[in-house]
Amino acid sequence: MHFDSDNALQSFITAFENGSFPKSQWTHSSHLAMATAYLWLFPIHEATALIRHGIQTYNVAQGGVNSPESGYHETLTIFWIQRVAEIIAELPAEAQRLDAVRAVVDRYGHRRDVFNDYYSFDVVKSMEARARWVAPDLK
């Protein structure tokens, strides 16, 4: 997902928030862009709450269900929030929100399986990991 302006990024965030962003375009890169936008604007605890609520609300708006077996996944959400926060912390002081989104998507947009370096299959697929944060068991 590439944004050519901050206005385009904001339009994406607005569509995500009101549930109108096309589900067919709700990719790993879209998740990262959304998370980066929130982490750029808010302290991590507030951004985390907004991201969590936003994904759950978006899933329902698109006809999905957040259940013990599907939909929102707490452990993966927190895992990716941590990765995004690390990249934001590395950016130069003059960076803007759009720069942060581009840096995160460039680094991880095509690497949605990075969590496999940190989690075994059984842990990440567990209902416990979907419902609440579970620390990595591999790394």
**Containing H/E element for 36?**
helix 28-41
Q: At what angle do helices 28-41 and 6-17 cross, to 10 degrees?
A: 100
Give the pLDDT of residue 1: 75
Give the pLDDT of residue 2: 83
Give the pLDDT of residue 137: 96
Q: Which amino acid is it at 33? A: A
Give the pLDDT of residue 31: 98
Give the pLDDT of residue 124: 94
Blockwise average pLDDT, block size 10, the chain, 139 residues: 92 98 97 98 98 98 95 98 98 97 97 96 96 96
Which own/partner contact pairs does 59-68 have at CB distance under 8 Å and 24+ positions apart?
A: 60/19, 61/18, 61/19, 61/20, 62/19, 62/23, 62/26, 63/23, 68/127, 68/130, 68/131
Residue 138 near residue 118 (C-beta atoms within 8 A): yes
